[in-house]
């Protein structure tokens, strides 16, 4: 296992590029199972989770290969295996993305039921309710979800759950409905940019998805979907992570190839904290501010403040002037980073789904343990701004979702080494 050793206190300046969005690329690749012809997906980041999805797709009968420029070509050549095993799903929850494409195209799928993970229990009941409403027969066998159907039939589906809309649940229903007979109306759909990206991808295969990006999506089913050319959007969470890095340690750090409009909630919070931010069409330039003001944050579905940036913003608030609160409304238990940040001198107290943060003058380096992808990114940010040396252990979490993060940050002035744990 590798660890990252971070020499803190360095300023970040210059240009840092953003990769394609992991959380778009995963369902987009899975949607290639719906197409009859060859799909060409561009701007796919080279990440452990993407390799894992490509491995799964190849087990499911696709010829799938990644070129050096982030282009993935995919063509299904054998539809005989429709099983995503526990071994696949436990390594990557997003394996659930193949369920709907397999069902819609092959009329049968067997996908191991995802369990909980470090950020919470994470049920898939809304995915299954959506598929059932389209006519799927669903059973649970030996820990596997088994779904069968004749051709699916369009329906009206309400996707709201106890924590709001569901991103991958909405994507599941769009994929299934795209090959169903007739019209599907999804109410309370997730509005995340990744849903819009997936809808655009299906439309480029010849599908008819309208309204993506709003809570009401319609899908007019078609008989078949054909070849596809699609470029994945820039990763808004990687962008946001670099924005927070800039707010902590930036000296005109310029984030390039991003979509500032996808980060309104984060930019608004940092603006209120007094940080200096300049946005261009595809760039965000940011410099740190001494003693920024504390701000309160609540995570919400898009366009609210993203849960995937909660841990990173907490590092910023840990060294802001005054008290702040962070309330987690999407994954109420997603606070595994709190004790690790406290090991570095932060003053954070958790009460239920809220963390109360008393800003301190400085963080100090320490060995810390990554618990999940975004918590790991937060610990890297903490290491950059801390005095002394921070070691982030279990760095495989970060490799799942950040492409070459150490190289990218080192190129703008950070000092991060990779070593064997």
Distance (Å, whole) CA 168 – CA 155: 19
Q: Applying CB under 6 A, what is the total number of residues that bind ligand EPU? A: 25
Binding mask 99-128 for ligand EPU (x = CB under 6 A): --------------------x--xxxxxx-
Decide if residue 273 touches ligand EPU (CB under 6 A): no
Nearer to ligand EPU, 121 or 323 (CB): 121
Decide if residue 287 touches ligand EPU (CB under 6 A): no
C-beta separation of 16 from 255 below 8 A: yes
Decide if residue 395 touches ligand EPU (CB under 6 A): no
**Size (the chain), residues:** 421
Binding mask 67-106 for ligand EPU (x = CB under 6 A): ---------------------------x------------
C-beta separation of 189 from 161 below 8 A: no
Decide if residue 381 touches ligand EPU (CB under 6 A): no
**Helices in 212-352 by DSSP H: which ranges?**
236-249, 264-272, 310-318, 337-343
Q: Is 163 helix (H, G, I), strand (E, B) or coil?
A: coil
C-beta separation of 276 from 285 below 8 A: no
Binding mask 13-42 for ligand EPU (x = CB under 6 A): ----------x--x----------------
Nearer to ligand EPU, 304 or 367 (CB): 304
C-beta separation of 274 from 359 below 8 A: no
How crowded is residue 163: how many other Cβ atoms within 10 Å of its Cβ? Answer: 16
Decide if residue 333 touches ligand EPU (CB under 6 A): no
Decide if residue 331 touches ligand EPU (CB under 6 A): yes
Nearer to ligand EPU, 94 or 233 (CB): 94
**Helices in 67-212 by DSSP H: which ranges?**
86-91, 99-106, 125-133, 167-178, 193-204
Decide if residue 163 touches ligand EPU (CB under 6 A): yes
Decide if residue 340 touches ligand EPU (CB under 6 A): no
Q: At what angle do helices 193-204 and 22-31 cross, to 10 degrees?
A: 30
C-beta separation of 108 from 148 below 8 A: yes
Which residues of the shown chain bind ligand EPU in the complex (CB under 6 A)? 23, 26, 94, 119, 122-127, 161-163, 166-169, 190, 307-308, 330-331, 373-374, 401
């Amino acid at each position: 296992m590798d660890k990252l050793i971070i020499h803190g206190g360095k300023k970040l300046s210059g240009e840092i590029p953003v990769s394609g969005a992991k959380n778009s690329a995963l369902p987009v690749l899975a949607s290639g199972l719906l197409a009859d012809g060859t799909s060409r997906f561009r701007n796919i980041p080279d990440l452990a989770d993407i390799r894992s999805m490509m491995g799964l797709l190849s087990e499911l009968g696709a010829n799938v290969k990644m070129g050096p420029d982030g282009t993935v070509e995919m063509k299904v050549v054998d539809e005989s295996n429709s099983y995503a095993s526990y071994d696949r799903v436990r390594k990557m929850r997003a394996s659930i993305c193949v369920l709907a494409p397999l069902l819609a195209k092959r009329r049968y799928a067997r996908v191991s039921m995802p369990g909980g993970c470090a950020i919470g229990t994470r049920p898939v009941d809304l995915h299954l309710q959506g598929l059932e409403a389209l006519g799927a027969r669903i059973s649970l066998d030996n820990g596997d979800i088994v779904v069968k159907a004749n051709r699916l039939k369009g329906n009206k589906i309400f996707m709201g759950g106890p924590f709001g809309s569901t991103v991958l649940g909405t994507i599941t229903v769009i994929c299934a409905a795209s090959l169903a007979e007739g019209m599907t109306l999804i109410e309370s759909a997730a509005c995340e940019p990744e849903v819009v990206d997936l809808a655009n991808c299906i439309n480029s295969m010849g599908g008819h998805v309208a309204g993506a990006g709003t809570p009401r999506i319609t899908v007019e089913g078609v008989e078949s979907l054909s070849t596809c050319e699609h470029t994945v959007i820039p990763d808004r969470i990687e962008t946001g992570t670099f924005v927070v890095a800039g707010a902590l340690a930036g000296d005109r750090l310029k984030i390039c190839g991003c979509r500032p409009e996808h980060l309104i909630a984060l930019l608004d919070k940092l603006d209120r904290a007094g940080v200096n931010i300049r946005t261009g069409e595809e760039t965000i330039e940011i410099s740190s501010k001494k003693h920024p003001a504390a701000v309160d944050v609540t995570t919400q579905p898009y366009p609210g403040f993203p849960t995937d940036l909660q841990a990173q913003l907490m590092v910023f608030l840990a060294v802001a002037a005054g008290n702040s609160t962070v309330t987690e409304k999407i994954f109420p238990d997603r606070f595994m980073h709190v004790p690790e940040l406290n090991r570095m001198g932060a003053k954070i107290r958790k009460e239920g789904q809220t963390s109360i943060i008393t800003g301190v003058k400085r963080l100090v380096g320490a060995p810390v343990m990554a618990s999940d992808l975004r918590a790991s990114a937060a610990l890297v940010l903490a290491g950059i701004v801390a005095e002394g040396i921070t070691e982030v252990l279990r760095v495989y979490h970060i490799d799942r979702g950040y492409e070459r993060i150490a190289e990218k940050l080192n190129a703008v002035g950070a000092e991060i080494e990779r070593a064997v744990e």
